[in-house]
Structure 1
Amino acid sequence: MKLMDTPGGRKIHTGYIPSMGGIGFVAAAFISILIWFSYENLIEVRYLLAAFGLMFFVGLRDDMVNLSALQKMGAQVVAALMVIIMSDIRITGLYGFMGVHELPLYTSYGLTLITIIGLTNAFNLIDGLDGLAGSISLVSFVFLGWWFMYSGYDAYAYFSFALVGGVLSFLIFNWHPAKIFMGDTGSLSLGFALSILTVLFIDLDGTMIGAKGMKFAAPIATGVALLIVPIYDTLRVFLKRAAKGKSPMSPDKSHVHHFLLRMGLRHDQVTLLLVGVKLFFIGIIFLAQGWGDNILLPAVLIMAVLIGLRLDTVTLRRVKKINAESPPVLVKREKKKPQVHPKMLRKIKINEN
Structure 2
Amino acid sequence: MVTFLALSTAFIIGFLLTPVLILVFKKLKMIDAPGGRKIHNGFIPSMGGVGFVIGIFISVITWFSLNQMVELRFFLTSFGLIFLLGLRDDLVDLTAWQKLLGQIVAAYIVVIFGDIRFTSLYGFLGVYEIPELVSYVITIFTIVGLTNSFNLIDGLDGLAGSISVVAFTFLGWWFWEADMIAYSMFALIIVGGVLSFLIFNWHPAKIFMGDTGSLSLGFALSVMAILFVDTNGNMLASEGWKFNAPIASGLALLIVPIYDTCRIFTKRIRRGKSPFSADKSHIHHFMMRMGLRHDQVALAMVGIMLFFVGIMFLGAQMSDHVLVPSIAILAAVLGLRLDVITLRRVKVITSQAPPILSVRMKKKSTIKPEVNQKILKKVKLTEN
TM-score, scaled to structure 1: 0.95
Matched, 1:205 2:232: yes
Matched, 1:81 2:81: no
SS at 2:281's partner residue? Answer: coil
Structure 2: stretches of 5+ with no match in the other structure: 1-27, 366-378
SS at 2:115's partner residue? Answer: coil
SS at 1:330's partner residue? Answer: helix
The residue number in structure 2 matching 1:187 is 214
Q: Could you report, residue by residue, the CA deviation over 1:160-183 in whole angstroms, capped at 9, with x for unpaired residues?
A: 010000000100000000000000
The residue number in structure 1 matching 2:306 is 279
Q: Could you report, residue by residue, the CA deviation over 1:84-138 in whole angstroms, capped at 9, with x for unpaired residues?
A: 0001100011101011111011111111111111100000000000000000011
Number of aligned residues: 343
The residue number in structure 1 matching 2:344 is 317
- Cα distance in 2 for residues equivalent to 1:78 and 1:243: 32
TM-score, scaled to structure 2: 0.87
- Cα distance in 2 for residues equivalent to 1:19 and 1:333: 40
- Cα distance in 2 for residues equivalent to 1:148 and 1:333: 64
Matched, 1:147 2:174: yes
Matched, 1:58 2:56: no
Aligned amino acid, residue 64 of structure 1: L
Q: Could you report, residue by residue, the CA deviation over 1:186-231 in whole angstroms, capped at 9, with x for unpaired residues?
A: 0000000000000000000000111000100011111011110010
User: What's the CA shift for 1:14?
Assistant: 1.4
Matched, 1:303 2:334: no
Task: Note closer, same or farther for the CA distance 1:352–1:163 as it changes in structure 2 (3 Å cut).
Answer: closer
Among candidates 257, 266, 273, match of residue 246 of structure 1? 273
- Cα distance in 2 for residues equivalent to 1:77 and 1:50: 14
The residue number in structure 1 matching 2:142 is 115
- Cα distance in 2 for residues equivalent to 1:195 and 1:330: 51
Aligned amino acid, residue 340 of structure 2: T
Structure with more helix by fraction:
2
User: What's the CA shift for 1:333?
Assistant: 5.9
- Cα distance in 1 for residues equivalent to 2:266 and 2:382: 78
The residue number in structure 2 matching 1:339 is none
- Cα distance in 1 for residues equivalent to 2:249 and 2:343: 30
SS at 1:280's partner residue? Answer: helix
The residue number in structure 2 matching 1:342 is none
Matched, 1:48 2:75: yes
Among candidates 241, 249, 269, match of residue 296 of structure 2? 269
The residue number in structure 1 matching 2:382 is 351
Among candidates 153, 157, 163, match of residue 190 of structure 2? 163
- Cα distance in 2 for residues equivalent to 1:323 and 1:74: 45
Aligned amino acid, residue 60 of structure 2: I
Matched, 1:72 2:103: no
- Cα distance in 2 for residues equivalent to 1:66 and 1:10: 17
Aligned amino acid, residue 207 of structure 1: N
User: What's the CA shift for 1:349?
Assistant: 4.5
**Once the two structures are aligned, what percentage of the paired residues are identical?**
61
User: What's the CA shift for 1:330?
Assistant: 2.8
Matched, 1:229 2:256: yes
- Cα distance in 2 for residues equivalent to 1:32 and 1:333: 60
- Cα distance in 2 for residues equivalent to 1:333 and 1:279: 48
Structure 1: stretches of 5+ with no match in the other structure: 337-347
Task: Note closer, same or farther for the CA distance 1:316–1:82 as it changes in structure 2 (3 Å cut).
Answer: same
Q: Give the stretch that moved more between structures: 312-321 or 54-63.
A: 312-321
Matched, 1:97 2:124: yes
Aligned amino acid, residue 212 of structure 2: T
Aligned amino acid, residue 98 of structure 1: L
- Cα distance in 1 for residues equivalent to 2:120 and 2:193: 33
